[in-house]
Amino acid sequence: MYERSLHAVIAKKTGGNKAIVIVGPRQVGKTTLIQNFLKDREHLFLDADDPTVRVLLTNPNTEELRRIIGKSTTVFIDEAQRVPGIGITLKIITDQFKSVQLFVSGSSSFELSNELNEPLTGRKWEYELLPVSWEEYEQHHGYLVAEQQVENRLLYGFYPDVLNHPGEEKDILKQLVNSYLYRDILAYANIRKPEILEKLVLALALQVGSEVNYNELAQTVGVDRKTIENYVNILSQGYVVFSLGSYNKNLRSEIKKSRKIYFYDNGIRNMIIGNFNSLDMRSDKGSLWENFLVSERKKQHAYKNSFSNSYFWRTRQQQEVDYVEESGGKLTGFEFKWKAKSGLKLPKTFTETYTADTKIIDRSNFRDFVVM
């Protein structure tokens, strides 16, 4: 079992009167994380996938909750997004049962974020759990094994089930894509034309690491721009993709409204395009490398409570910086290469305009970037 970074974070936040809420994609280990944390602690486990549990937790009053909770001082509600009006139920528990430590997990931010934000304002610590990070992977296997597995991780990603069943990666990823990406997201978002979502996801997968133009996507998919924006937002809420906006402050020539879209997991991306060829047989090696690095950096920011902002930078003259990070008033530009050539530098227009630090990240030093 992989030791997750959030375990230590949760440990520091328990004991107060706030709920611990873990959100993230399906099958990344949210239930396992909380159950492992509570393994030596008596607790009431309420699985909202169970219809009976859903009924009990839907709009109960305080006395009904008192009967459900009984003498338990720790309550874990799993798949909470399945319960209508769960936010109010959780608010009652945190307000009326001061001795109860509440743990909540949810596999989708579609309903859960909307349900929790207002009722639980000031009453929760909320964290994202994403697929296993490179740091967690290397800590589990050791440096040597992790080093030997870099290419496999670029191809198959970091979902726990994928990592735990070598040789079955493609079958597992196919199930993940078919069950979660298409079935769950279509159901949650009430999408009536799945073929549009499939076309869009494929188009995004083929453009990883490149700027995405919503008007061009609309033409490719055969819908209007507003529909594209709506579907990309749905994919973001479903933890399939995330985006970086363009950094612009000073120059008229800077691209101001563009964005890049990345996948949370390389394996999911490769299953969508149906390509698991080795790196030396691929034309998209650079895109895979960039997606890996940016998604790993995102995990680090999520787990280590970073206050950094992430962007990319480009001008109309095609000058570009792959990744820009703003932290504590300081700007750093990163260029990603699988194998960097000596003398590679970032554009002077960027470094001189913003007095920015610069770093080249390649196969030889990537750990400096993916472990903060």
Beta pairing partners, 46: 77
Q: Of 116-120, 186-190, 229-233, which gets the smallest average pLDDT?
A: 186-190
Average pLDDT estimate for 10-17: 90
Average pLDDT estimate for 287-301: 97
Average pLDDT estimate for 197-202: 91
Starting from the edge strand earliest in sequence, which strands make up the sheet with 74-78, in order?
44-47, 74-78, 101-106, 19-23, 124-128
Contact criterion met (CB below 8 Å) for 159 and 172: yes
Q: Of 40-44, 129-133, 327-331, which gets the smallest average pLDDT?
A: 327-331
142 burial (CB, 10 Å; 0-12 / 13-18 / 19+) is exposed
Q: Between vectors from CA 277 to CA 271 and to CA 278, what angle results, nearest 5°?
A: 125
- pLDDT band at residue 137, thresholds of 50, 70 and 90? very high
Map residue 65 onto helix, strand or coil.
Answer: helix
Beta pairing partners, 323: 334
Map residue 119 onto helix, strand or coil.
Answer: coil
Least Cα distance to 346 among 361, 354, 334 occurs for 334
- pLDDT band at residue 253, thresholds of 50, 70 and 90? low
* Cα separations in angstroms, 199 against 114, 145, 265, 341: 28, 37, 19, 36
Answer yes or no: is pLDDT of 133 > 60.
Answer: yes
141 burial (CB, 10 Å; 0-12 / 13-18 / 19+) is middle
Sign of the C-alpha dihedral computed for residues 363, 340, 290 and 327 taken in this order: positive
* Cα separations in angstroms, 352 against 196, 250, 336, 343: 44, 11, 20, 18
Fold of 6-128: Rossmann fold (3.40.50)
What integer pLDDT is reported at residue 193 of this predicted model?
76
Contact criterion met (CB below 8 Å) for 273 and 206: yes
Map residue 335 onto helix, strand or coil.
Answer: strand
What integer pLDDT is reported at residue 34 of this predicted model?
97
Q: Provide the percentage of residues in the chain whose pLDDT is more than 70.
A: 94
Confidence (pTM): 0.93
Of the chain, the end-to-end C-alpha distance in Å amounts to 22
- Which amino acid is present at 249? K
Per-domain residue ranges for the chain? 6-128, 134-370
Contact criterion met (CB below 8 Å) for 55 and 84: no
Average pLDDT estimate for 319-332: 93
Q: Which residue has the higher pLDDT, 184 or 232?
A: 232
CA distance 111 to 195: 23
Answer yes or no: is pLDDT of 255 > 60.
Answer: no
Q: Provide the percentage of residues in the chain whose pLDDT is more than 90.
A: 70
Structure token digits, residue 59: 């709009």
Residue with tokens 């959100």: 23
Structure token digits, residue 73: 């001082």
Contact criterion met (CB below 8 Å) for 82 and 54: yes
Average pLDDT estimate for 32-41: 95
- pLDDT band at residue 120, thresholds of 50, 70 and 90? confident
- Which amino acid is present at 209? G
Answer yes or no: is pLDDT of 15 > 90.
Answer: no
Q: Which residue has the higher pLDDT, 146 or 329?
A: 146
What integer pLDDT is reported at residue 78 of this predicted model?
94
Beta pairing partners, 45: 76
Least Cα distance to 21 among 113, 88, 117, 104 occurs for 104
What integer pLDDT is reported at residue 29 of this predicted model?
95
Residue with tokens 């759990």: 129
